[in-house]
Amino acid sequence: MIIVITKVEGFIINTTDYKESSLVIQLFTKEYGIIGLLAKGVKSIKNKLHASVMKYTYGYFYIYYKEDKLSILKDVDIINPFKKIHEDILAISYLAYYSDLTYQVWKSSPNKEIYHLFLDTVNQLNNQKDPLVLANILETKYLNFLGIGLVLDCCQNCGSTKNIVTVTDGGLICKNCYQNEPIVSIKAIKLLRMYNLIDIKTINSIQINETTKKEVNNFLEQYYQNYSGLYLKSKNFLAKLKDVMSK
């Protein structure tokens, strides 16, 4: 039986110890989505792949691919080490959150677009773009994959595009349909629309009013808490880290 080595592009989103010297890797691949890899002996510092199988490695992985089973890792060529991220504790904490969120979104709705959204976001984080803004853009775009997308082009009740006064559970609300829902500013609504439409990889600079940025983040946090059903430890760690850093 001939076993063919398959080359895949991927990003290590998690690793788990396996026996004394090996790892089981969760690899998010362009070709197959999230797959499991067995990396034999790589915990030994003498192993040639030791430095290439850390969490958040992005590269080409040469594997014995087994559908619906653990594939076997044979070699790695690193595409981008993302040095700027690994040098910054806040950035690496945001990356942990992006990775955890992406894993859950993929489990909910496997779609190849998720891979590109995620990698574009990681690249922009490495380019030192605002990590909170990137998180909110990713969160906004992921809503549709989770089945809880926001209607942001018209009133969710009547379809009107005029006299929009707020955004609430499910999308925009116009003046005629308003029934004492909490008010979200027009600036925040415009920012949510931009987040939903923007191509992440084309972002050159991010200049957003702090008040509006925080308002959008607060809205998305509450929306995810109410409707996504996701609980991510990395999100809680990130909040605690930011609180410590702000003191």
Query: What is the average pLDDT across 44-65?
Result: 95
d(C-alpha 10, C-alpha 78), whole Å: 10
d(C-alpha 61, C-alpha 7), whole Å: 6
d(C-alpha 153, C-alpha 205), whole Å: 25
d(C-alpha 127, C-alpha 109), whole Å: 28
Judge whether residue 5 has pLDDT over 70: yes
- Split at pLDDT 50, 70, 90, the class of 247 is confident
Judge whether residue 1 has pLDDT over 60: no
d(C-alpha 173, C-alpha 152), whole Å: 9
Please list the alpha-helical segments (H only) found in 40-185: 83-86, 89-108, 112-126, 131-142
- Contact present, 155 and 164 (Cβ < 8 Å): yes
Query: What is the average pLDDT across 131-153?
Result: 96
Q: Which of 153, 126, 142, 111 has its CA nearest to residue 56?
A: 126
- Split at pLDDT 50, 70, 90, the class of 142 is very high
Q: Which residue has the tokens 């853009």?
A: 137
Provide the percentage of residues in the chain whose pLDDT is more than 90: 93
- Split at pLDDT 50, 70, 90, the class of 207 is confident
- Contact present, 174 and 159 (Cβ < 8 Å): no
Q: What is the pLDDT of residue 79?
A: 97
Query: What is the average pLDDT across 150-155?
Result: 95
Judge whether residue 198 has pLDDT over 70: yes
Q: What is the pLDDT of residue 3?
A: 73
Distances 183 to 1, 140, 214 between C-alpha atoms, Å: 65, 19, 15
Structure tokens at 139: 């969160």
CATH for the stretch 5-81: 2.40.50.140
